[in-house]
Amino acid sequence: MPAAAHVDFSTLETPVALLDERRLERNIHHMQTAVNALGVRLRPHVKTAKCLPVAARQREAGGHGIAVSTLKEAEAFFAAGYDDILYAVGIVPGKLDHVRALRERGCALKVIVDSADGAHAVVEAGRAAGHAFEVLIEVDVDGERAGVAPDDPALIGIGRLLHEGGAVLGGVMTHGGGSYHRFGHDARVAFAEQERSRCVQAAQHLRDAGLPCPVVSTGSTPTALSAHDAAGVTEMRAGVYVFNDLVMAGLGVCRVDDVALSVLTTVIGHQADKGWVLVDAGWMALSRDRGTQDHPIDQGYGLVCTEDGTALDDWTVSAVNQEHGIVTRRDNATSADVRERFPLGSRLRVLPIHACATAAQFSEYRVLTNDGRLETWPRFGGW
Amino acid sequence: MPAAAHVDFSTLETPVALLDERRLERNIHHMQTAVNALGVRLRPHVKTAKCLPVAARQREAGGHGIAVSTLKEAEAFFAAGYDDILYAVGIVPGKLDHVRALRERGCALKVIVDSADGAHAVVEAGRAAGHAFEVLIEVDVDGERAGVAPDDPALIGIGRLLHEGGAVLGGVMTHGGGSYHRFGHDARVAFAEQERSRCVQAAQHLRDAGLPCPVVSTGSTPTALSAHDAAGVTEMRAGVYVFNDLVMAGLGVCRVDDVALSVLTTVIGHQADKGWVLVDAGWMALSRDRGTQDHPIDQGYGLVCTEDGTALDDWTVSAVNQEHGIVTRRDNATSADVRERFPLGSRLRVLPIHACATAAQFSEYRVLTNDGRLETWPRFGGW
């Protein structure tokens, strides 16, 4: 079903980040329902939208605390009344004064470490300031990024350093980023179980060593929506589900018409002999993300839709410069009628490959509201 | 020579866009000298830096007018006193009211078209408002993006439509984006000549048809620095030279130590068994640009330098998530001493693959000034 086709976009100067409130709320409801059914709390990761009205909807739906990827997000959301915040990027000594300042203002900001060096730095900074930081240990469940392996003896050493050094050992957390490479339902279910079992295993090792581990935090959009079991987990974090995107659709985590974010663009020209349509959305608007490059269906820099949001499944943005996008048929067949089909000045929408990256290129969302109006919701960026 | 090693970065919360004023000014001087030697004007493209102090240095060095990629740039630079502006992206009907508003406020803003449809739209909008737009015709010299081929009979039709329809036919322009795929000096020289000769040929066709063509505008950083001859050209445009980047260095257009922009980042962890160093510069700071992927030397998401700017030629950012970068040796050899060599909390700099894209991720530059201070220069984004 075309989304909010009755809204008049004609006065908007393109490119514009359009957000479909109906799809947004459906996505939020879908994730909250899935995580509720597992009997754990959902901690939305607000790095995707960086937008207060979006986070408010996640909280109203039942979200419990938030995760952030920068201290700027922590500042902005704390100022808006969010006081249970997990900073989900490994902490470094140079940011601990900032973290402490937030905590002393009343923000229950938690940090993560995955090494004895990190734990030592937190303990030292805490001692120097007479402050007890709250720390989760990051666990590596898939070898893709950060974290200590659950069976690495270093885990207990890190826990002991923190606990005995005066920090609050809040528990363990992991991000199963490997879920982004698992195609098909069964592979996702298996990966979700891998994420769960390894993170719970780490928690058990800490408890067996006499250390506290109240929180076991897992999650990613694919695993949160695929897990059959959350035994031992206390909360799940997920971010991109709020908008969804073509990576999620390509993995089978959502449908293309669950993608709530799109970029409104205008046709600026043609190279008809090649079947090219040039639009005013280049990488500055779409981002350079090529996250579907290794998918069965490569969506280029984005899937093209008509102005009312109907996907044109054969048409993608196949190349980008800073403010130019080149729209072609996916099969590279030339279409001699591109001038007639996509006239100069006509509007298209482009669905994002990676919503976090595309959204980051904009300072505001133009929102197609449920009641057919156009609202502006600000978004912040930077550090 | 390490750059401005005496500046204390320790209070900066990373990631930060660092700009080396000495390299910046050297790059500006180098380009201005090269274009002066060709006997044509240089019109800097301000889309790379989007920063008034940078543009001021380009103007002081002898730059003549500017090119912009968005009307927001036109607004911002016109407000700062730049009144000779070329909007170098194909104009669409919906933006002509905005263009006219700028022109009526005194901005000599020029637009470009590459089709009869585009010319018609400009003429119609001009007639309706009683306004003469100034228009350049975009010429396609390499088949890579927009523009009408110089020997396409449509060229004369477009020129006639504009000239007889009441617009000011300002001339022709092209962007030789194909120069970004020409490796080695000889290939660049040949491509610069291709760009020049085809654009001049288009101008000649217009003049032969009795149409005016005062401006012949070519350019890209590689061609402007490689051209042996500018006969028939009146101005060159170039943008990325102001910062330079690893794409330019990979092409041989600059040296690695001409790159004026870098991202200061902090080590947030390690996976020592894999030889990984994790840093707090992910794609949000570096961009997703992989412009050296098809170069002889693939620099990943950026080349790693020590905090004082000394390049570590074997180390690149080989993978990125939103706020995580994974630094590895280029040859993927594991380096068991990564914890000792790059301790947690230590600082590195990352040189950008594509300076336009990396700069776009930041709202300000921290500038290492010639006299050893740290200044903040704002940058704007959006549309």
Closest-approach residue (CA) in chain A for B267: A92
Interface contact flag, A289 B270, Cβ < 8 Å: no
Per-residue three-class SS string for chain B: CCCCCCCCCCCCCCCEEEEEHHHHHHHHHHHHHHHHHCCCEEEEECCCCCCHHHHHHHHHCCCCCEEECCHHHHHHHHHCCCCEEEECCCCCHHHHHHHHHHHHCCCEEEEEECCHHHHHHHHHHHHHHCCCCEEEEEECCCCCCCCECCCCCHHHHHHHHHHHCCCEEEEEECCCHHHHHCCCHHHHHHHHHHHHHHHHHHHHHHHHCCCCCCEEEECCHHHHCCCCCCCCCCEEEECHHHCCCHHHHHHCCCCHHHCCEEEEEEEEEEEHHHCEEEECCCHHHHCCCCCCCCCCCCCCCCEEEECCCCEEEEEEEEEECCCCEEEEECCCCCCCCHHHHCCCCCEEEEECCCHHHHHCCCCEEEEECCCCCEEEEECCCCC
Confidence of residue B64 (pLDDT cuts 50, 70, 90): very high
Backbone angles phi, psi at B317, to 5 degrees: -85, 110
Q: A326 contacts in B (CB within 8 Å)?
A: 145
Interface contact flag, B115 A344, Cβ < 8 Å: yes
Rg of chain A in Å (alpha carbons): 22
Which of A71, A288, A324 shows the shortest C-beta gap to B289? A288
CA distance A287 to chain B (A): 7
- Which pLDDT score, from 0 to 100, does residue B3 have? 47
CA distance B280 to chain A (A): 8
For residue A185, how many other CB atoms are within 10 A of its CB? 13
Q: What is the DSSP string of A214-259?
A: -EEEE--HHHHHH-S--TT--EEEE-GGGT--HHHHHHTSS-GGG-
pLDDT in tens, B145-155: 999 999 999 99
Q: What is the mean pLDDT of residues B187-209?
A: 98
Q: What is the mean pLDDT of residues B58-68?
A: 98
Most A CBs within 10 Å: which of B344, B358, B380, as the mutation test of the A interface?
B344
Q: A343 contacts in B (CB within 8 Å)?
A: 117
| pTM, entire model | 0.97
Task: Select from B6, B1, B20 the least CA-distant residue to B264.
Answer: B20
Q: A71 contacts in B (CB within 8 Å)?
A: 13
Residue B10: pLDDT over 90: no
Tokens (6 digits) for B176:
């030789």
For residue A252, how many other CB atoms are within 10 A of its CB? 16
Mean pLDDT value across chain A: 96
Residue A7: pLDDT over 80: no
For residue B190, how many other CB atoms are within 10 A of its CB? 14
User: Could you give the 3-state DSSP secondary structure of residue A335?
Assistant: coil
**Are B100 and B81 spatial neighbours (Cβ–Cβ below 8 Å)?**
no
**In CATH, what class is A22-243?**
alpha beta
Residue A305: pLDDT over 90: yes
Confidence of residue A172 (pLDDT cuts 50, 70, 90): very high
- Which pLDDT score, from 0 to 100, does residue A376 have? 98
CA distance B146 to chain A (A): 7
Q: A344 contacts in B (CB within 8 Å)?
A: 92-93, 115, 117-118, 121
Rounded Cα distance, A280 and A274, in Å: 18
Residue A264: pLDDT over 50: yes
- Domain residues of chain B, as ranges? 22-242, 252-378
Q: What is the mean pLDDT of residues B14-40?
A: 98
Interface contact flag, A356 B268, Cβ < 8 Å: no
Mean pLDDT value across chain B: 96
Q: A280 contacts in B (CB within 8 Å)?
A: 89-90, 92
CA distance B95 to chain A (A): 7
Match domain A260-351 to its CATH number in 3.40.50.10190, 2.40.360.20, 1.10.540.10, 2.40.37.20.
2.40.37.20
Q: B271 contacts in A (CB within 8 Å)?
A: 140, 143, 146
- Which pLDDT score, from 0 to 100, does residue A4 have? 45
Interface contact flag, A268 B146, Cβ < 8 Å: yes
Q: B47 contacts in A (CB within 8 Å)?
A: 322-323
* A41-44 β-sheet, strand order: A41-44, A235-238, A215-218, A168-173, A134-138, A108-113, A84-87, A66-68
- Which pLDDT score, from 0 to 100, does residue A2 have? 45
Across the A:B interface, residue pairs with CB atoms under 8 Å apart total: 150
Domain B252-378: CATH architecture, name and number where available:
Beta Barrel (2.40)
- Which pLDDT score, from 0 to 100, does residue A117 have? 97
CA distance A3 to chain B (A): 23
CA distance A318 to chain B (A): 12
Q: What is the mean pLDDT of residues B167-186?
A: 95
CA distance A198 to chain B (A): 18
Confidence of residue A355 (pLDDT cuts 50, 70, 90): very high
Interface contact flag, B269 A14, Cβ < 8 Å: no
Interface contact flag, B324 A278, Cβ < 8 Å: no
Which of B10, B361, B382 shows the shortest C-beta gap to A362? B382
Rounded Cα distance, B338 and B31, in Å: 39
Residue B1: pLDDT over 60: no
* Amino acid residing at A22: R
Which of A118, A269, A290 shows the shortest C-beta gap to B269? A118
**Are A209 and A16 spatial neighbours (Cβ–Cβ below 8 Å)?**
no
* Amino acid residing at B51: C
**In CATH, what class is B22-242?**
alpha beta
Interface contact flag, B363 A382, Cβ < 8 Å: yes
Which of B13, B121, B278 shows the shortest C-beta gap to A98? B13
Q: What is the mean pLDDT of residues A17-44?
A: 98
pLDDT in tens, A142-151: 999 999 999 9
- Which pLDDT score, from 0 to 100, does residue A336 have? 78
pLDDT in tens, B103-138: 999 999 999 999 999 999 999 999 999 999 999 999
Task: Select from A368, A369, A363, A291 the least CA-distant residue to A49.
Answer: A363
Q: B91 contacts in A (CB within 8 Å)?
A: 268
Task: Select from B72, B85, B79, B77 the least CA-distant residue to B43.
Answer: B85
CA distance A319 to chain B (A): 9
Q: What is the DSSP string of A29-87?
A: HHHHHHHHHTTSEEEEBTTTT--HHHHHHHHHTT--SEEESSHHHHHHHHHTT--EEEE
